[in-house]
Structure 1
Amino acid sequence: MKKIFATFALIAVSHLAWSATVMPELKKANTDICLRMGASARGAPKAPEKMPVFCGCVSDAYWSSVPQGEYDALIHTGKSPLLEANMDKRLEIAKAACLKKAG
Protein backbone atom coordinates (compact mmCIF):
# COMPACT_ATOMS: atom_id res chain seq x y z
CA MET A 1 0.00 0.00 0.00
CA LYS A 2 2.89 2.36 0.77
CA LYS A 3 4.25 1.85 -2.75
CA ILE A 4 0.89 2.88 -4.18
CA PHE A 5 0.95 6.01 -2.04
CA ALA A 6 4.57 6.68 -2.97
CA THR A 7 3.47 6.78 -6.57
CA PHE A 8 0.21 8.35 -5.51
CA ALA A 9 2.12 10.62 -3.26
CA LEU A 10 -0.36 13.21 -3.70
CA ILE A 11 -0.22 16.54 -1.66
CA ALA A 12 0.69 19.51 0.62
CA VAL A 13 0.16 22.96 1.90
CA SER A 14 1.39 25.64 -0.47
CA HIS A 15 3.26 26.24 -3.68
CA LEU A 16 6.74 26.89 -2.35
CA ALA A 17 9.64 28.05 -4.48
CA TRP A 18 11.52 24.82 -3.82
CA SER A 19 8.66 22.49 -4.70
CA ALA A 20 9.23 19.85 -7.30
CA THR A 21 8.37 20.31 -10.94
CA VAL A 22 6.44 17.09 -11.46
CA MET A 23 5.45 15.35 -14.68
CA PRO A 24 1.75 16.06 -15.33
CA GLU A 25 1.29 12.35 -16.05
CA LEU A 26 2.37 11.50 -12.51
CA LYS A 27 -0.09 13.96 -10.99
CA LYS A 28 -2.84 12.57 -13.24
CA ALA A 29 -1.99 9.00 -12.25
CA ASN A 30 -2.13 9.98 -8.57
CA THR A 31 -5.49 11.65 -9.08
CA ASP A 32 -6.84 8.62 -10.97
CA ILE A 33 -5.76 6.24 -8.19
CA CYS A 34 -7.45 8.45 -5.62
CA LEU A 35 -10.65 8.50 -7.67
CA ARG A 36 -10.62 4.70 -7.94
CA MET A 37 -10.15 4.37 -4.19
CA GLY A 38 -13.11 6.71 -3.67
CA ALA A 39 -14.56 7.28 -0.25
CA SER A 40 -12.74 4.19 1.03
CA ALA A 41 -9.51 6.21 1.06
CA ARG A 42 -8.71 7.35 4.59
CA GLY A 43 -9.52 11.03 4.95
CA ALA A 44 -11.54 11.29 1.74
CA PRO A 45 -14.95 12.98 1.52
CA LYS A 46 -17.87 10.58 1.74
CA ALA A 47 -19.82 12.26 -1.08
CA PRO A 48 -18.73 10.84 -4.47
CA GLU A 49 -19.37 14.14 -6.26
CA LYS A 50 -16.67 15.78 -4.14
CA MET A 51 -13.98 13.26 -5.02
CA PRO A 52 -12.72 14.79 -8.31
CA VAL A 53 -11.98 18.16 -6.67
CA PHE A 54 -10.55 16.47 -3.58
CA CYS A 55 -8.29 14.08 -5.50
CA GLY A 56 -6.92 16.73 -7.83
CA CYS A 57 -6.26 19.03 -4.91
CA VAL A 58 -4.46 16.33 -2.92
CA SER A 59 -2.18 15.46 -5.82
CA ASP A 60 -1.29 19.11 -6.44
CA ALA A 61 -0.84 19.90 -2.76
CA TYR A 62 1.27 16.81 -2.08
CA TRP A 63 3.68 17.39 -4.93
CA SER A 64 3.93 21.08 -4.05
CA SER A 65 5.34 20.01 -0.69
CA VAL A 66 8.04 17.79 -2.20
CA PRO A 67 11.47 19.37 -2.72
CA GLN A 68 12.93 18.99 -6.21
CA GLY A 69 15.82 16.85 -4.93
CA GLU A 70 13.47 14.24 -3.47
CA TYR A 71 11.48 14.10 -6.70
CA ASP A 72 14.66 13.85 -8.80
CA ALA A 73 15.90 10.94 -6.68
CA LEU A 74 12.58 9.14 -7.26
CA ILE A 75 12.71 9.70 -11.01
CA HIS A 76 16.38 8.82 -11.46
CA THR A 77 16.70 5.85 -9.10
CA GLY A 78 13.12 4.64 -8.65
CA LYS A 79 13.14 5.46 -4.95
CA SER A 80 13.65 8.39 -2.65
CA PRO A 81 14.22 7.61 1.02
CA LEU A 82 13.46 11.19 2.08
CA LEU A 83 10.27 11.28 0.02
CA GLU A 84 9.15 8.00 1.58
CA ALA A 85 10.07 9.14 5.09
CA ASN A 86 7.98 12.32 4.75
CA MET A 87 5.16 10.94 2.61
CA ASP A 88 2.61 10.16 5.31
CA LYS A 89 2.97 13.55 7.01
CA ARG A 90 2.78 15.45 3.71
CA LEU A 91 -0.18 13.39 2.55
CA GLU A 92 -2.12 14.01 5.77
CA ILE A 93 -1.49 17.75 5.54
CA ALA A 94 -2.62 17.79 1.92
CA LYS A 95 -5.75 15.75 2.62
CA ALA A 96 -6.75 17.98 5.52
CA ALA A 97 -6.33 21.14 3.42
CA CYS A 98 -8.16 19.65 0.45
CA LEU A 99 -11.03 18.26 2.50
CA LYS A 100 -11.81 21.86 3.50
CA LYS A 101 -11.71 22.95 -0.16
CA ALA A 102 -13.93 20.06 -1.29
CA GLY A 103 -16.46 21.08 1.35
Structure 2
Amino acid sequence: INRVISMTFIIGSFLAAVGSMLYFTNYPSVAITSGGMPGLKAFVAAVFGGIGSIPGAVVGAFIIGLCEEIIKGLGYTTFSDAFTFALLIVVLCVKPTGLFGEKVTDKV
Protein backbone atom coordinates (compact mmCIF):
# COMPACT_ATOMS: atom_id res chain seq x y z
CA ILE A 1 0.00 0.00 0.00
CA ASN A 2 2.86 2.40 0.74
CA ARG A 3 4.19 1.94 -2.80
CA VAL A 4 0.77 2.75 -4.30
CA ILE A 5 0.47 5.89 -2.16
CA SER A 6 3.98 6.98 -3.11
CA MET A 7 3.38 6.45 -6.83
CA THR A 8 0.07 8.30 -6.63
CA PHE A 9 1.79 11.24 -4.95
CA ILE A 10 4.61 11.24 -7.53
CA ILE A 11 2.24 11.11 -10.51
CA GLY A 12 -0.01 13.80 -9.02
CA SER A 13 2.94 16.08 -8.32
CA PHE A 14 4.28 15.58 -11.84
CA LEU A 15 0.91 16.38 -13.41
CA ALA A 16 0.54 19.48 -11.22
CA ALA A 17 4.00 20.68 -12.28
CA VAL A 18 3.28 20.14 -15.98
CA GLY A 19 -0.10 21.84 -15.66
CA SER A 20 1.35 24.85 -13.89
CA MET A 21 4.10 25.20 -16.49
CA LEU A 22 1.54 25.12 -19.29
CA TYR A 23 -0.74 27.57 -17.47
CA PHE A 24 1.94 30.13 -16.62
CA THR A 25 3.53 30.30 -20.08
CA ASN A 26 1.03 33.08 -20.85
CA TYR A 27 2.22 35.31 -18.00
CA PRO A 28 5.47 37.32 -17.90
CA SER A 29 5.91 36.99 -14.14
CA VAL A 30 4.66 34.70 -11.41
CA ALA A 31 3.83 35.68 -7.83
CA ILE A 32 3.12 33.54 -4.79
CA THR A 33 -0.64 33.99 -5.18
CA SER A 34 -0.73 33.45 -8.96
CA GLY A 35 -2.18 29.95 -8.77
CA GLY A 36 -4.79 30.72 -6.14
CA MET A 37 -7.80 31.16 -8.38
CA PRO A 38 -7.08 28.19 -10.72
CA GLY A 39 -6.53 25.97 -7.68
CA LEU A 40 -9.72 27.19 -6.06
CA LYS A 41 -11.67 26.60 -9.26
CA ALA A 42 -10.28 23.07 -9.50
CA PHE A 43 -11.48 22.42 -5.95
CA VAL A 44 -14.88 23.92 -6.81
CA ALA A 45 -15.09 21.61 -9.85
CA ALA A 46 -14.35 18.58 -7.67
CA VAL A 47 -16.99 19.59 -5.11
CA PHE A 48 -19.42 20.49 -7.89
CA GLY A 49 -19.07 17.05 -9.48
CA GLY A 50 -18.98 15.16 -6.19
CA ILE A 51 -16.01 14.46 -3.97
CA GLY A 52 -14.48 11.08 -4.81
CA SER A 53 -15.98 10.91 -8.29
CA ILE A 54 -13.45 11.45 -11.08
CA PRO A 55 -16.09 11.60 -13.86
CA GLY A 56 -18.03 14.03 -11.67
CA ALA A 57 -15.01 16.30 -11.32
CA VAL A 58 -14.48 16.24 -15.10
CA VAL A 59 -18.13 17.04 -15.81
CA GLY A 60 -18.11 19.70 -13.08
CA ALA A 61 -15.04 21.37 -14.58
CA PHE A 62 -16.58 21.25 -18.06
CA ILE A 63 -19.84 22.83 -16.85
CA ILE A 64 -18.01 25.51 -14.87
CA GLY A 65 -15.75 26.35 -17.83
CA LEU A 66 -18.67 26.46 -20.24
CA CYS A 67 -20.74 28.70 -17.95
CA GLU A 68 -17.79 31.04 -17.36
CA GLU A 69 -17.19 31.44 -21.09
CA ILE A 70 -20.89 32.10 -21.71
CA ILE A 71 -20.86 34.79 -19.00
CA LYS A 72 -17.72 36.33 -20.51
CA GLY A 73 -19.26 36.18 -23.98
CA LEU A 74 -22.28 38.11 -22.74
CA GLY A 75 -19.95 40.89 -21.61
CA TYR A 76 -19.91 40.26 -17.86
CA THR A 77 -16.22 39.43 -17.55
CA THR A 78 -15.93 40.85 -14.04
CA PHE A 79 -18.67 38.55 -12.76
CA SER A 80 -17.43 35.24 -14.19
CA ASP A 81 -15.60 34.23 -10.99
CA ALA A 82 -18.54 35.25 -8.81
CA PHE A 83 -20.87 33.24 -11.02
CA THR A 84 -18.72 30.15 -10.51
CA PHE A 85 -19.06 30.32 -6.74
CA ALA A 86 -22.76 31.24 -6.92
CA LEU A 87 -23.31 28.18 -9.12
CA LEU A 88 -21.51 26.04 -6.53
CA ILE A 89 -23.75 27.37 -3.76
CA VAL A 90 -26.89 26.64 -5.79
CA VAL A 91 -25.75 23.10 -6.62
CA LEU A 92 -24.83 22.35 -3.01
CA CYS A 93 -28.21 23.66 -1.81
CA VAL A 94 -30.04 21.43 -4.29
CA LYS A 95 -27.78 18.36 -4.09
CA PRO A 96 -25.31 18.54 -1.17
CA THR A 97 -23.21 15.59 -2.38
CA GLY A 98 -22.53 17.19 -5.78
CA LEU A 99 -23.74 16.05 -9.17
CA PHE A 100 -22.31 12.52 -9.09
CA GLY A 101 -21.80 12.17 -5.35
CA GLU A 102 -23.51 9.44 -3.39
CA LYS A 103 -24.92 9.54 0.09
CA VAL A 104 -22.70 7.87 2.63
CA THR A 105 -24.47 5.73 5.18
CA ASP A 106 -22.68 5.17 8.44
CA LYS A 107 -22.90 1.69 9.86
CA VAL A 108 -22.94 1.42 13.59
Same fold by TM (over 0.5)? no
TM-score, structure 1 length as denominator? 0.33
Which structure has the higher relative contact order (CA within 8 Å, separation 6+)? 1
TM-score, structure 2 length as denominator? 0.32
Q: For the pair shown, which has the larger CA radius of gyration, 1 or 2?
A: 2
